[in-house]
A and B are shown apart, each in its own frame.
Chain A
Amino acid sequence: MSASSSIQIARDGDVAVVVLQGEHDLSTADRLRQAIERARDGSTPVVVDLTEATFIDSAVLGVLIAEHERAASNGSAVGYVVGAGAGHSVHRIIDLAGVAAVLPISSDRATALRAIRG
């Protein structure tokens, strides 16, 4: 159970931005999956910003990986942002799991938006 968490969908031009705040774990993983799917709405490029997340667990990583693959398989795009401001444990789990090698992770939103727009 997360103490406090939120998932919001914003818009930056042609890109949907999913913003995570607070703690995200197994209990919110499904909500995150649905939010990303909703933001994608078929083929809209999606940037998921975890900079304001204070905690994520392996279930959340699982969603990030699965959504990246889903995007790749249907020709849409997804990018991730983990800014310097993200919680220590967020940076740490990304380091420990070595997901930087697997997922397109940028250190700020502008870079992620540039990357996703090609």
Chain B
Amino acid sequence: MTADTDQTRSDIAWLGSRLQHLQTLSETLAGARTEHEAIEATLNPGLDVFEADQAVIAMLDESGTEFRIVAVRGYPDQVEADWGMFPNTDEFPLSDAVRTRQPVIVYGPEELIRRYPKLEGTGRSAALVCLPMGDFGGIALGYDREKTFGDAELEFMTAVVRQCSEAIRRTAFDAERGRRAERLALLAEAGAAFAGSLDYRTTLGEVANLAVPAMADCCIVDVLEPTGLHQLATVHVEPGKIARVAELETSYPADPAEPHSAVGGVLRSGEALLVSPVTEEFVRSVTRDEAHRDAVHALGMRSLIIVPLVARGRTLGAITLIYDTSSRLYDEHDLATAASLADRAALAIDNARLHQAQTEIARTLQHGLLPDALPAIPGVEITARYLAAGEGLEVGGDFYDVWLMDGSFGVAIGDVSGKGARAAAMTSLARHTVRVASLHEPTPSRVLRVLNSEILQHRPPDMFCTAAYAHAVPSADGGIDVTIALGGHPPGVIVRHEGVLEQAGELGTLLGVREDVTLTDADFHLAPGEVLVLCTDGVIERRDGGRMLGEEGLAEVLAGVGSGATAESIAIAVERAVMEFASGAPEDDVAIVVVRPTGDAAGLC
């Protein structure tokens, strides 16, 4: 065997082992799911492929001004500590390589210090090769023994490093995509959670719960209340830390007036704050004394976002997001997500406060529209039902009323067009006008005529009213004699015995539009057990897709209630028919009044 053959064999063996290392590297890189895994893969099988003794991978930070060492192999720990960050200038071989996009090769410490004087005292490799990784970082490979790098070798190394950088880029992209999806999911979840919560303290608790751990290790929500700034929610991935955060807050409360309060600063300026990474200088600027500083250091805050809660130009508080236990750092995207989360939360808080006020107004107004309780009339059952449309927040225009007069009683039902406070005022006017007019006008048509004039005088141009008014006088048979007039209102339905239905009232003109209206008095008798049902158009106009409950649907319900059904059970049957006809709350208010003489008492006379 000649020396040549030996050399060839050794070369082949070397090539085989290199190919094997290369294959392992490719497989490991392909399997890397995180940026960290891809970097580790570059270093571990990478070192074998390159036959290097030391390696350092450094990444350019987002601003492009500094390199951060993300992985080290073969150097003492001290190197990583000393060289955690270095500036992006040509004063360092690795940054030089990335800047020029060319390999930098240095043979021995002497050359190293000659070319890169700043590295005085650090050189120890017999040879050093720095290769750029895309435009975002680079790898430095150190060799303890003398080594030369031919073009072919450099080309090979460059190709392998390119493969590594592609893998790192892919995993970084995947991670970013994952984080983006996470942020979007978080915002969607926030939207749903806030929409459902009408109590702002609950909303703020939701904010903190949503933020941790999806986008913070610790989330603190501070809210400005009339009594000052209050920490309403604190959530930490490590429940044990909550007490320490709370303790810090008690000793050094966030204060809008305190210059050394980070939250205070955000509240004053209304501007979001991103501190990433948290520096000693920053900690010093937001702490009030040594003890405060120590306590903040002890928490180990690495990255911080504070966003103000602003709704309708008013600052309601602030959300603080902190990374302390995890190694993640916030970036501009996180800031945007946090701002979006804060906007949603602020809106929800504002809505909750508004809702509280509105509910009170609605309750007060509705109170004026509907009687507290119907009068007890001996021998006559009277039941009323009222279903508010939608959320029940806006005051509806439907009204009903039942009142006793001298030996008789009046029943009114009506509907003022429109919604809200204006309609409520008109509804209140309508209800009380009918009641007052009933005391001095001789017939129901005359009562509605008074109502017509009254609305004409007071109404805004697009408002009108429909109303039915019935005057009932107990009769000797235990029933009642009824006179009814309709002003643009659906007629009542008389339920005779055996489920026979009749129309109660003659159609008339709606009220509040014209002085000359056609209003007719219609008389009928209800024997004991017979029933008068009055309702507003919300009943018959109840729709589901193209179907409508209609007068026919109402008639079907009433024909089916059976003799002997009480006023109460009939009202409930109608109410149920309305509710069950379609899903969801009615689109319009619904008022139902049922009158049924029982014949059980002598009546009012």
Contacts and interface: CB of A to CB of B under 8 A. Distances in A.
Contact of A96 (B418, B488, B513, B518): B488
Contact of A98 (B462, B488, B548, B587): B488
A109 B588 CA distance: 31
Interface in B458-498: 461-464, 466, 487-491
A49 B417 CA distance: 22
A93 to B, nearest CB: 7
Contacts of B545: 3
A58 B414 CA distance: 12
Contact of A62 (B463, B541, B546): B463
Contacts of A10: none
Given A57-B588, A58-B417, A65-B513, A92 B461 contact: no
Interface residues of A, number: 27
A84 interface: no
Chain B contact surface mostly: loop
B260 interface: no
Contacts of B548: 55, 89
A1 B464 CA distance: 22
Contacts of B489: 96-97
A98 B510 contact: yes
Contacts of B463: 62
Contacts of A96: 466, 488-491, 507, 537
Contact of B464 (A23, A54, A65): A65
A54 B550 CA distance: 13
Interface string B244-276: 000000000000000000000000000000000
B400 to A, nearest CB: 16
B543 A101 contact: no
Contact of A57 (B418, B461, B491, B541): B541
A99 interface: yes
B517 A101 contact: yes
B153 to A, nearest CB: 73
Nearest to A59: B417
A25 B128 CA distance: 80
Chain A contact surface mostly: helix
B180 to A, nearest CB: 34
B550 A89 contact: yes
B415 interface: yes
A66 interface: yes
A42 to B, nearest CB: 18
Interface in B535-566: 537, 541, 543, 545-546, 548, 550-551
B514 A101 contact: yes
A47 interface: no
Contact of B546 (A3, A63, A69): A3
Contacts of B461: 66, 69-70
A102 B514 contact: yes
A3 B537 CA distance: 19
B488 A99 contact: yes
Given A98-B487, A98-B507, A102-B510, A62 B464 contact: yes
Contacts of A26: 587-588
Interface in A84-113: 89, 92-93, 95-99, 101-102
Contacts of A20: none
B514 A97 contact: no
Nearest to B510: A97
B518 A101 contact: yes
Contact of B417 (A3, A23, A54, A62): A62
28 contacts: A1-B587, A3-B545, A3-B546, A25-B587, A54-B546, A58-B537, A58-B588, A62-B418, A62-B462, A62-B463, A65-B464, A65-B513, A69-B513, A89-B541, A89-B548, A93-B541, A96-B488, A96-B489, A96-B490, A96-B491, A97-B489, A98-B487, A98-B488, A98-B510, A99-B488, A101-B514, A101-B518, A102-B510
Interface of A: 1, 3, 23, 25-26, 54-55, 57-59, 61-63, 65-66, 69-70, 89, 92-93, 95-99, 101-102
Given A62-B462, A92-B551, A97-B510, 5 more contacts: A3-B545, A26-B587, A61-B464, A97-B509, A101-B517
